[in-house]
C-alpha cells in the first residue's frame, strides 16, 4: 500500500498553522496514484480548514495525533445541505466516493466552542449570521459507498459530527464521540437517506441527538433510509439519545437497535414523524434507559420512549421553508407502524408517550417485557409531553402517567409494569392514560397510580381497551 504522510507535503503540527492545502495535496496525490493511506502522524495537533476526501483512501490518524478545525469562520463557506445555507457548513467532505476508511486511534476535534456565543447556564448562545451559518459539521459524506469509520475519537462538534447522506454500505465501529453537552445541534451520528448501515460498540455524548435516522428534504433524490443495525452502544444526550425523524420526507424501515445503554438524557428513544415519509418495521431490544429533565432549550420532557406523528409547524417558524415540499404551505404526515420494544428498562422523571394528530397515523406498537420506573430527580418542572416541532404550543398533557397515549391504534402492553419512586409531585398520576386508542391490549400488566386518590387506569374518548390481567 502506498503511504503518504501529510508532513511530507508541508503540514506542520504546531497547533496554529492552517494545513488544509497540505492535507488536500496529500489526499489528491494518493488518489491520483490509485489509492493508499494518508497518514496524520502522532504527537502533533494539525489545525486545518476544509478539505475533501477521495475514493480508495485510508485516512489514518495515528494515536496521539489531533486534527482540529481552524478557528476562522470565513474559511467555512460550503453548505452542508446544498441550497439550504442556514444549517452549517462542511469541514471534512466528500461526494460520490467509494472505498473510504477513517481509522488509526487519533482524534478529530471540531473546535466547537470557538463557533459559539456566550456560555449560559444550560447552553451556549448561537451567534447570529446573515445567510450562511458558518458552524462546521465535522464530516459530511454524500452519495458514497463502502465507508468504514473505526477506532477514532470525534469531539467538540459545532454542528453535527458525522453526517452520511445517500450513502450505501456504511460501517461505524468502536468510535467515541464527545460533543459538548451545552452545544445545540451537536448531533453525534446522522444517517440520512442511507442503506445497509452498521453502527456498533460506540460511545456517544452529544448536546443533540446521539444517533439520528432521517430523510432530509435537501437530499430528496437519495432514496429511503433502510436496513440499519445499531448495537452495543452507550449514549448520553441533552436532547434525544436515539431518534428517528423529525425530518422524514421518504420512508424509514427495517431498523434494529439492540444492546444499548442510555443515561443522563433528556429523552431516550424518540420516533418523531413530522413529514410525509413513513416509519415502519423498527425493533428496539435489550436497552436500559435513564432520563432526566433539562431546560426547555432542549427538546424533550424526560420521556424514556416517545412516538409521535404531528403536523410540522409552518407559520412564522424556522421549520417552514426548507422543511416543506416546494410550493407547499401545509405539512403532510406519514404513518408510523410495526414498532416493537422488547426487554426495555426505563427510569425517568416522566413516562412513555405516544401521540398523534389523528388515530390513523400510529398503528401496531408492541411493548414486551418493558418496565417503567418514575421518580422526580431534578428541579425542572414536569407534567407535560414535548411535541415540538409542531403547530401550536408544542406541549400537551398536564399529568405524568406511566404510559400516556393519545390517538393511536393497536397498542399492546405485554408483561409490562409501571412503578413509582419516593419523590412524587402532585402531577404524577395514573399507570396508564389512554385517549382515543383503538384496540389497546394489556396482558399481565402490573402498575397502579402514583397516589391512592387517583385512578390507576384512565380511559377517555373512543378507546377500545382489552385488559386481560392486572
- For 158-189, write each residue's pLDDT tens digit: 999 999 999 999 999 999 999 999 999 999 99
How far is C-alpha 460 from the chain's CA centre?
Answer: 33
The 8-class DSSP code of residue 21 comes to H
Q: Given a cut of 70, is residue 286 above it in pLDDT?
A: yes
**Domain contains 152:** no
Residues 6+ apart with CB under 8 A from 318: none
**Domain contains 199:** no
Total number of domains constituting the chain: 1
Range of the domain at 338: 265-470
Cα–Cα distances (Å) from 464 to 362, 450, 453, in that order, read 15, 24, 24
Mind listing the pLDDT tens digit for each residue in 405-415? 999 999 999 99
Signed CA dihedral, 65, 66, 70, 75: sign only = positive
Q: What is the pLDDT of residue 118?
A: 97
Q: What is the pLDDT of residue 397?
A: 85
Among 3-17, 117-131, 278-292, 310-324, where is mean pLDDT lowest? 310-324
**Domain contains 285:** yes
Residues 6+ apart with CB under 8 A from 169: 145, 146, 147, 195, 196
Based on the number of CB atoms within 10 Å of its own CB, is 375 exposed (0-12), middle (13-18) or buried (19 or more)? middle
Q: How confident is the model at residue 276 (pLDDT cuts 50, 70, 90)?
A: very high
Q: What is the pLDDT of residue 469?
A: 57
Q: Given a cut of 70, is residue 45 above it in pLDDT?
A: yes
Q: What is the pLDDT of residue 263?
A: 98
Q: What is the pLDDT of residue 327?
A: 76
Q: What is the pLDDT of residue 318?
A: 55
Q: What is the mean pLDDT of the chain?
A: 95
Q: What is the pLDDT of residue 470?
A: 47
Distance CA 164, CA 213 (A): 10
**Domain contains 281:** yes
* Percentage above 90 pLDDT, the chain: 91
**Domain contains 18:** no
Mind listing the pLDDT tens digit for each residue in 322-380? 787 877 777 889 999 999 999 999 999 999 999 999 999 999 999 999 999 999 999 99
**Domain contains 86:** no
- Strand 395-397 vs strand 384-386: parallel, antiparallel, or unpaired? antiparallel
Q: Which of residues 325 and 80 earns the better pLDDT score?
A: 80
CA dihedral 241, 245, 250, 253 (to 10 degrees): 40
**Domain contains 451:** yes
Q: Given a cut of 80, is residue 98 above it in pLDDT?
A: yes
Mind listing the pLDDT tens digit for each residue in 188-228? 999 999 999 999 999 999 999 999 999 999 999 999 999 99
Among 62-71, 148-157, 305-314, where is mean pLDDT lowest? 305-314
**Domain contains 344:** yes
Mind listing the pLDDT tens digit for each residue in 384-430? 999 998 877 789 988 999 999 999 999 999 999 999 999 999 999 99
Q: What SS3 state is found at 249?
A: coil
Query: How many CB atoms neighbour CB 460 within 10 A?
Result: 11
Mind listing the pLDDT tens digit for each residue in 308-323? 999 887 765 555 567 8
Amino acid at each position: 500500500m502506498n503511504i503518504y504522510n501529510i508532513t511530507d507535503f508541508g503540514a506542520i503540527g504546531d497547533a496554529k498553522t492552517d494545513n488544509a492545502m497540505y492535507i488536500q495535496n496529500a489526499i489528491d496525490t494518493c488518489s491520483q496514484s490509485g489509492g493508499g493511506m494518508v497518514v496524520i502522524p502522532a504527537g502533533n495537533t494539525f489545525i486545518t480548514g476544509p478539505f475533501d476526501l477521495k475514493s480508495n483512501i485510508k485516512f489514518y490518524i495515528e494515536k496521539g495525533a489531533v486534527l482540529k478545525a481552524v478557528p476562522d469562520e470565513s474559511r467555512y463557506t460550503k453548505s452542508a445541505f446544498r441550497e439550504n445555507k442556514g444549517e452549517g457548513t462542511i469541514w471534512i467532505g466528500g461526494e460520490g466516493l467509494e472505498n473510504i476508511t477513517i481509522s488509526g486511534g487519533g482524534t478529530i476535534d471540531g473546535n466547537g466552542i470557538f463557533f459559539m456565543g456566550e456560555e449560559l447556564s444550560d447552553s451556549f448562545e448561537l451567534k447570529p449570521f446573515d445567510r450562511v451559518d458558518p458552524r462546521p459539521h465535522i464530516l459530511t459524506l454524500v452519495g458514497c459507498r463502502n465507508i468504514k469509520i473505526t477506532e477514532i475519537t470525534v469531539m467538540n462538534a459545532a454542528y453535527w459530527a458525522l453526517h452520511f447522506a445517500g450513502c450505501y454500505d456504511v460501517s461505524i465501529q468502536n468510535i467515541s464521540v464527545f460533543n459538548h453537552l451545552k452545544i445545540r445541534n451537536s448531533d453525534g451520528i446522522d444517517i440520512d437517506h442511507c442503506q445497509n448501515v452498521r453502527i456498533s460498540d460506540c460511545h456517544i455524548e452529544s448536546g443533540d441527538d446521539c444517533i439520528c435516522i432521517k430523510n432530509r428534504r435537501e437530499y430528496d433524490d437519495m432514496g429511503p433510509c433502510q436496513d440499519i443495525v445499531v448495537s452495543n452502544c452507550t449514549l448520553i444526550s441533552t436532547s434525544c439519545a436515539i431518534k428517528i425523524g423529525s425530518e422524514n420526507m421518504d420512508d424509514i424501515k427495517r431498523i434494529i437497535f439492540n444492546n444499548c445503554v442510555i443515561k443522563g438524557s433528556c429523552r431516550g428513544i424518540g420516533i418523531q414523524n413530522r413529514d410525509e415519509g413513513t416509519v415502519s418495521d423498527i425493533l428496539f431490544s435489550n436497552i436500559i434507559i435513564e432520563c432526566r429533565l433539562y431546560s426547555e432549550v432542549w427538546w424533550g420532557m424526560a420521556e424514556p420512549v416517545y412516538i409521535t406523528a404531528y403536523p410540522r409547524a409552518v407559520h412564522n417558524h424556522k421549520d417552514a421553508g426548507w422543511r416543506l415540499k416546494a410550493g407547499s404551505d401545509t405539512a403532510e404526515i406519514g404513518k408510523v407502524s410495526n414498532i416493537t420494544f422488547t426487554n426495555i428498562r426505563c427510569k425517568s422523571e416522566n413516562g412513555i408517550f405516544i401521540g398523534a394528530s389523528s388515530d390513523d397515523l400510529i398503528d401496531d406498537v408492541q411493548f414486551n417485557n418493558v418496565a417503567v420506573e418514575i421518580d422526580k430527580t431534578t428541579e425542572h418542572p414536569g407534567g407535560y409531553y414535548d411535541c415540538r416541532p409542531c403547530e401550536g404550543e408544542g406541549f400537551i398533557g398536564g399529568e405524568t402517567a406511566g404510559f400516556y397515549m393519545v390517538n393511536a391504534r393497536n397498542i399492546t402492553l405485554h408483561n409490562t409494569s409501571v412503578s413509582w419512586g419516593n419523590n412524587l409531585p402532585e402531577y404524577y398520576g395514573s399507570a396508564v392514560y389512554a385517549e382515543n386508542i383503538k384496540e389497546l391490549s394489556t396482558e399481565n400488566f402490573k402498575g397502579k397510580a402514583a397516589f391512592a386518590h387517583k385512578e390507576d387506569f384512565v380511559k377517555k374518548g373512543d378507546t377500545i381497551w382489552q385488559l386481560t390481567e392486572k
